[in-house]
Amino acid sequence: MTPITRLISEQPKVFRDPAQCMMWGAYVCAVRNALGMSQRDLAAILGVTRTTLTRLEQGVPPLKAPLCRTALEVFKEAGVSSAAMEDVLYIGAGLPVSLDISIEINHLLKMRSQTVKSATTADKTTLLLGEDFIPPLEQSPLRKK
């Protein structure tokens, strides 16, 4: 077993710590608001329902780790990153001291211009993530339908 495979297999399946869940909620909500997206738009991009996204943003335990991982990956692809949240997810490093969020300005400008024009969710997704983007949880859903 390689070190990376072992690291992934040792990751928790859910986050139950209320403080950790609150941190995930704050991160997802802050990024969504910074990009000027509605919950409906972000839920569509992540491939979950708006109710699921609301629970994530509120930090209601337990939070499914694959959903948090998906949000982190989608945000990273959209030019948004957080070293602290990556450490929590991939290294399992407890609770970060502060929540850092880095947003590439060109992505922020694109999203703000589309928000003003009242673009559809599909338009925003294409603008932010490209035409070939498929929501990760639609490819491999958390729950079988």
For the four alpha carbons of 48, 67, 114 and 39, in that order, the dihedral sign comes to positive
The predicted structure's pLDDT at residue 141: 59
pLDDT at residue number 108:
74
DSSP codes of every residue in the chain: --HHHHHHHTS-SEE--HHHHHHHHHHHHHHHHHTT--HHHHHHHHTS-HHHHHHHHHT-S-EEHHHHHHHHHHHHHTTEE-HHHHIIIII-----SS---EE-HHHHHHHHHHHHTT--HHHHHHHHH-TT---HHHHS-SS--
Amino acid 84 reads A
Percent of the chain with pLDDT over 90: 18
Which tokens is 114 given?
Answer: 């589309």
pLDDT band at 138, cuts 50/70/90?
Answer: low
Q: pTM of the predicted model, to two decimals?
A: 0.72
Please write the tens of the pLDDT for every residue from 86-126.
887 777 656 777 788 888 887 777 766 666 566 677 777 77
Residue 56's pLDDT band (boundaries 50, 70, 90)? very high
Is residue 7 over pLDDT 60? Answer: no
Mean pLDDT of 59-82: 89
Q: Which of 8-12, 37-41, 45-49, 71-75 has the lowest mean pLDDT?
A: 8-12
Mean pLDDT across the chain, nearest whole number? 78
Domains of the chain with bracketed CATH: 12-123 (1.10.260.40)
